[in-house]
Amino acid sequence: MQRVGRAQIRLAPLAAFDALAALRDPAWLHDDERRRLDAMASPLRRRQFLAGHWLLRELAAEHHGGDAAAWLLTRDDHGAPRLQAPTGIDAVLHASISHSSDWVAVAIAGEAIGLDIETGAKPRDLPSLAEFLFSPEECAALVQVDDARRAAHFYLHWTLKEAWGKRQGTGLRPQRTRRQTPHEVIAGQATMQSWQRPDRLLVMALAGSRGLRADVSGWPGVDAPRYWDVVETG
């Protein structure tokens, strides 16, 4: 029997990191991370970057041991994030980081994963984006949703596509995403999971292997995940 994997996910508001000493002097950053941070002009983007990269290390240290600052975040030959454990701990973890407005989310697992979170805070032309990225089936379904729920429906499908693209290492490629439609399935058949707040626009999706289980901490609600698989045509 194939062993079912498990991912750890953690969310946090950006404000939770404002007084953190580790972010005021981020000596724990890898050289590549520091170069990326130095190239960022936006104060918000810098806050998101530091918060996500520290939260990822905290999550790894909590579940696998060692000091958070001693975990090393690098990238493989395809650019996918990898966490290398401190000396004495035998662990190399796949990782994914996402942020949207004042929220940051991270995930770790022993296999390739992709995580995406959206708050819908950034103004977007949702119908045009859907036509560009979504399958005809998804576009038709979006039109049928009433105005009050349309943004939440859009971002549910957006996060599923983002998470899937991150897990595959391809990102959002319209020529492929327009041929892919997520369908709800039972947990054991799922390659993706989603969480969605009923009281505000906050959506998160995780992509991994079939049947991957996820432990979520920091999610501001108690809603259970929905499970999805991708049907590709053409």
Do the beta carbons of residue 73 and residue 57 sit within 8 Å?
A: yes
Kindly report the CATH number assigned to the domain that includes residue 84.
3.90.470.20
Q: How far apart are CA 14 and CA 31, in angstroms?
A: 23
Q: How far apart are CA 11 and CA 223, in angstroms?
A: 14
If pLDDT is split at 50, 70 and 90, which confidence band does 223 have?
confident
| Beta pairing partners, 213 | 6
Q: How many residues does the chain have?
A: 234
Q: Is the pLDDT of residue 1 over 50?
A: no
Tokens (6 digits) for 51: 């918060």
> Per-residue pLDDT tens for 44-87?
999 999 999 999 999 999 999 999 999 999 988 878 899 999 99
The mean pLDDT value of the chain amounts to 93
The total of structural domains in the chain comes to 1
Tokens (6 digits) for 234: 């053409």
Do the beta carbons of residue 23 and residue 122 sit within 8 Å?
A: no
Q: Give a yes or no: residue 1 inside a domain.
A: no
199-220 mean pLDDT:
94
Q: First CA to last CA across the chain, in angstroms? A: 32
Phi, psi angle pair for 124, to nearest 5°? -140, 150
Do the beta carbons of residue 206 and residue 164 sit within 8 Å?
A: no
Query: What pLDDT was estimated at residue 213?
Result: 94
Domain that holds residue 175: 6-232
Query: What pLDDT was estimated at residue 4?
Result: 55
Do the beta carbons of residue 104 and residue 48 sit within 8 Å?
A: yes
> Per-residue pLDDT tens for 75-120?
888 788 999 999 999 988 999 999 999 999 999 999 999 999 999 8
Query: What pLDDT was estimated at residue 2?
Result: 42
74: nearest Cα among 24, 8, 29, 114: 29
Tokens (6 digits) for 232: 């590709």
131-146 mean pLDDT:
94
- How many other C-beta atoms can be found within 10 angstroms of the C-beta atom of residue 63? 14
Query: What pLDDT was estimated at residue 220?
Result: 80
pTM assigned to the model: 0.94
Tokens (6 digits) for 173: 């490629």
DSSP state of 116: E
| Beta pairing partners, 193 | 206, 227
Q: Is the pLDDT of residue 159 over 70?
A: yes
Using a pLDDT cut of 90, give the percent of the chain over it. 82
125-153 mean pLDDT:
93
Tokens (6 digits) for 131: 């036509």
Query: What pLDDT was estimated at residue 222?
Result: 62
Q: Give a yes or no: residue 172 inside a domain.
A: yes
